[in-house]
Structure 1
Amino acid sequence: MVPVPDFAAHRQRLLDTLDEDEAVLVFGGPTTLRNGDADYRYRPDSDVYWLSGWEGPDVALFLRPGDEPFVVFCQPKNREREIWTGIRPGPEGAKENYAADIAFSMEELDRELPRLLQGVSCLHYTFARFPNYDQQLMAAIHSATRAARRNGLDIPETFKAPSRHFHELRLRKGPDEAEVLRRAAEISAAGHLEAMKRAAPGVNEYEVEAAMTNVFRQMGTTGCGYVPIVAGGANATILHYVTNRDPLKDGDLLLIDAGAEHCYYTGDITRTFPVNGTFSDIQRRTYEWVLKAQLAAIDTARPGRTINEVHDAAVRIITEGMLDLGLLEGDIEELIADGSFKKYYMHGTSHWLGLDVHDPGMMGRKGKSRELEPGLVLTVEPGLYVPADDEEAPEPLRGMGIRIEDDILVSVGDPEVLTAAVPKTVEELEAFCS
């Protein structure tokens, strides 16, 4: 059975955190113009989807705790528009298929929202995301204020960004989400394996990307969770290289950073391997330092440890590697303390993963790093990048970029590596890619 999120459970988790005079208002935005009169393919707002499973544009969700109804505003049924852009659920579909207790057309928002806001003293809402909706909300509050003077009910006087606890709920994955992410990881892994098979000298980066993303789609995903990075040779020293059109060269490494979305939850895998199937001596030596750093960081991703400790574990070994490879000189403690390692390892080791590739949720608060707990999903992705024009680096290392990334579910025991199906030791990669 294909795993799917439990949206009703998500809503209840949110409602359980609210006081009776609080409410949450979440909008899903309109389609976005790509160029000319062509739109981008719509991807649902992650907050809207987490709460409801709603996949279409122009929607609003209103939730209050207790016996208050779950209210959905959505595009109305419109036969003429549906001929062009697809079937809309409409208000009736919102009730039948998305568990709305009450549903209205978005055209009724101005009339109904002031009534819904009465008795709400604190509204959880993200400003400046959709300015048109901000204006409608302010107009609704103005209308609700007039009504409140007559009936003595509260109106919103306090606004809170959802990030303080709504996004903390999204950060802590329930069993349903863990299963969905396992499936996203499984599909992502299958795509990476196909990419490894396709890569060879003379093949273009975009051909490797096509082989991989074709697997993603064939396995029923909604696409990629982000634009794939397929970077041969020195292109791998550009952290977010997405041009993906150069030919692969014999003797180069190929870095692929890509993940498939399942139910809009994304995988996020990076592998670096030799285009011709065999590491050179210096490539092997450099790669094994990055792998050693990644394995140490993964082993640190346990309950009670912090997200900073995961990073620190990777940094220490990567810095040892830089000393061994001749990229840095000096005392390792000083090189770590003064940040010298950032010349060749300039990004963090981890980010949260879920509906967004960089899922929301704080890494820490008030200068204190977040302590890991079961149910958190993070990436572990150390790397080492030597620009081709870095004359201070040993010449054999110039133009080499290596990153290794896996998706980790923090568990009661050992960390669960969701993406372990993709080979990553030198021996495994050479056996698979040869």
Structure 2
Amino acid sequence: MLKSQIYSNRRKALRELMGNGIVFFPGNAEAPMNYPANTYHFRQDSNFLYFFGLNQADLAGIIDLDKGTDILFGDEPSMDDIIWMGPQPSMKNRASLINVSDTRSLSQLATYLSDAIHAGRKIHFVPPYRADTAQWISILLGIKPMFLKVYSSLELMKAIVQLREIKKAEEIEEIEKMISVASLMHTTAMRMAKPGIIERQIFGKMEGIAFEYANGTSFPTILSINGQTLHNHYHGNVLTEGRLIVSDAGCESEDGYCSDITRSTPVGGKFNSRQKEIYEIVLNANLKVIETAKPNVFYRDVHWEASRIIAAGLRDLGLMKGDVDEAVMAGAHALFFPHGLGHQMGLDVHDLEGLGEDLVGYDAEISRSTQFGLGSLRMAKRLRPGHVVTDEPGIYFIPALIQQWKAQNKFDQFIDYQKVETYLDFGGIRIEDDILITNNGCRVLGPGIPKTVKEVEEEAAKSIGDSK
């Protein structure tokens, strides 16, 4: 855990941004997979982690804005808990880790909130993203589940975004630790990318590393030779020469901080000429982001810079044509780059998006585009020192999308469909780093993970267990 003073400082900072009333942070409960006693790997609510720091189920936190007090609700461990899970810390011991002195049983929470409601006090909460939490809040506050979003506190959501999106030194340190683990995950994938290997063999090794050196994965690992499918979770394909394997994976710490890295590796360890040409375009876009991202620049504009690199590179290969700027402004490049450049990252791999993408990635200065591709950009607003964002351009050849656009003669002034159709068997390439916005630019976080053609090929030539 982080130092106890960090959590009390965060709660103090929230008070300074809020008006009056009570802030209610319900922690997560265990979630059953297929029967009550068989649960998924537990993941605490990120807002609860940020302010109350405890990674155990069945807890709730209260911040009383008027009285300046904090309360931790939860039950003392029972004998059954001790028998099945071993010695457990008392509520007082748990609370001491986060500088909270007032602890109460979970059964007292309903009465506490009911008394506050009857006293006319405002209860601030954020929209729940889990059905069990929604039901719990509904019962406690007497609000039908369908109306919880309406009654949630925009004031609280804005305050949370303001606090959480700017990462402090201790948060950056945690993130970098997780990127170091992700480095091992991805270099292992590169070394295993050999003909005859089944995707799940690589997937299993990567997930094992995440649990061996961290607290598991930060999201379900994306790993496939069908890289044209952006979030492919099927892992049954056999690797064959001439294919590329896209691995998009990360892990998280005990405190919930994440990494999110993507690398693309040729099966067999050597890029063929066609793969190398497309890979170099994506790499140049990734490097352009690192060159361009800095304070006061809209991340949407950085997305456009990456898009221009992609469109220009594809034009040089004869896949696109015409004026690059006109093609990008029209959205023609989105046939090949149909997603946004990146998102914020921290306690959530898509940080804070449980509060709403537009609240996190957009603001009064900039609104979401309706244009295909650009409309999927999750982070568009001005960058500020302390933002941690992903830099993940890609080029994909999606047969169904290509065929649809060709049938519609869509952007045929910018796209050479005859040439594009020779790439229908290509797949996709994505390269992703996690970057920190500094006072005068940005910094790629974590150790250098092989990224150039030369680095990837050299890593892929190694064997598992090779320490060189």
TM-score (norm 2): 0.82
1:35 is matched by which residue type in structure 2?
A: N
Alignment RMSD (CA, Å): 2.5
Match of 1:406 in 2: 433
Aligned pair partner of 2:192 in 192, 198, 203 = 198
Q: Where has structure 1 moved over 6 Å in runs of 4 or more?
A: 2-5
- 1:236 is displaced (CA, Å) by 0.6
Decide whether the 8 Å contact of 1:76 with 1:106 is kept in 2: no
Task: Provide the rounded CA distance (Å) in 2 between the counterparts of 1:128 and 1:359.
Answer: 15
Tell which deviates more after alignment, 413-422 or 401-410.
413-422
Report the secondary structure of 1:239's partner residue: coil
Decide whether the 8 Å contact of 2:23 with 2:65 is kept in 1: no
Task: Provide the rounded CA distance (Å) in 2 between the counterparts of 1:3 and 1:93.
Answer: 15
Task: Provide the rounded CA distance (Å) in 1 between the counterparts of 2:61 and 2:275.
Answer: 52
Q: Could you list the per-position Cα deviations for residues 12-34 of structure 1 after superposition, in whole angstroms to 9, with x for gaps in the alignment? A: 22222123x23311111322121
Decide whether the 8 Å contact of 1:22 with 1:120 is kept in 2: no
Report the secondary structure of 1:137's partner residue: helix
Aligned pair partner of 1:357 in 337, 349, 353 = 349
Task: Provide the rounded CA distance (Å) in 2 between the counterparts of 1:328 and 1:398.
Answer: 18
Task: Provide the rounded CA distance (Å) in 1 between the counterparts of 2:271 and 2:435.
Answer: 27
Task: Provide the rounded CA distance (Å) in 1 between the counterparts of 2:99 and 2:246.
Answer: 44
Aligned pair partner of 1:164 in 142, 148, 158 = 158
Task: Provide the rounded CA distance (Å) in 2 between the counterparts of 1:205 and 1:161.
Answer: 46
Decide whether the 8 Å contact of 1:26 with 1:47 is kept in 2: yes
Match of 1:373 in 2: 384
Decide whether the 8 Å contact of 1:253 with 1:274 is kept in 2: yes
Task: Provide the rounded CA distance (Å) in 1 between the counterparts of 2:170 and 2:118.
Answer: 35
Task: Provide the rounded CA distance (Å) in 2 between the counterparts of 1:207 and 1:213.
Answer: 10
Match of 1:324 in 2: 316
Q: Could you list the per-position Cα deviations for residues 310-343 of structure 1 after superposition, in whole angstroms to 9, with x for gaps in the alignment? A: 2111111111122223333333233212211111
Match of 1:60 in 2: 60
Task: Provide the rounded CA distance (Å) in 1 between the counterparts of 2:441 and 2:323.
Answer: 33
Match of 1:309 in 2: 301
Give the total of aligned pairs. 413
Decide whether the 8 Å contact of 1:31 with 1:42 is kept in 2: yes
Task: Provide the rounded CA distance (Å) in 2 between the counterparts of 1:139 and 1:82.
Answer: 34
Tell which deviates more after alignment, 121-130 or 253-262.
121-130
Task: Provide the rounded CA distance (Å) in 2 between the counterparts of 1:313 and 1:281.
Answer: 25
Task: Provide the rounded CA distance (Å) in 2 between the counterparts of 1:139 and 1:385.
Answer: 48
Task: Provide the rounded CA distance (Å) in 2 between the counterparts of 1:50 and 1:417.
Answer: 24
Decide whether the 8 Å contact of 2:242 with 2:266 is kept in 1: yes
- Structure 2 regions of 5+ residues with no counterpart? 144-150, 353-358, 367-379, 404-416, 462-468
Task: Provide the rounded CA distance (Å) in 2 between the counterparts of 1:401 and 1:100.
Answer: 50
Report the secondary structure of 2:10's partner residue: helix
Relative to structure 1, the CA distance from residue 195 to residue 3 in structure 2 (aligned partners, 3 Å threshold; closer, same or farther) is: farther
Report the secondary structure of 2:308's partner residue: helix
Report the secondary structure of 1:402's partner residue: strand
Task: Provide the rounded CA distance (Å) in 2 between the counterparts of 1:86 and 1:300.
Answer: 52
- 1:166 is displaced (CA, Å) by 0.9
1:227 aligns with 2:220: yes
Identity %: 29
1:300 aligns with 2:292: yes
- 1:380 is displaced (CA, Å) by 0.4
1:22 aligns with 2:21: yes
Match of 1:39 in 2: 39
1:291 aligns with 2:291: no
Relative to structure 1, the CA distance from residue 128 to residue 7 in structure 2 (aligned partners, 3 Å threshold; closer, same or farther) is: closer
1:222 is matched by which residue type in structure 2?
A: N
Report the secondary structure of 1:353's partner residue: coil
Match of 1:146 in 2: none
1:417 aligns with 2:417: no
1:252 aligns with 2:243: yes
User: Which runs of structure 2 are paired with 1:127-142 in the superposition (5 Å)?
Assistant: 127-129=127-129, 130-139=133-142
Decide whether the 8 Å contact of 1:296 with 1:313 is kept in 2: yes
1:236 aligns with 2:231: no
Task: Provide the rounded CA distance (Å) in 2 between the counterparts of 1:351 and 1:120.
Answer: 39
1:107 aligns with 2:107: yes
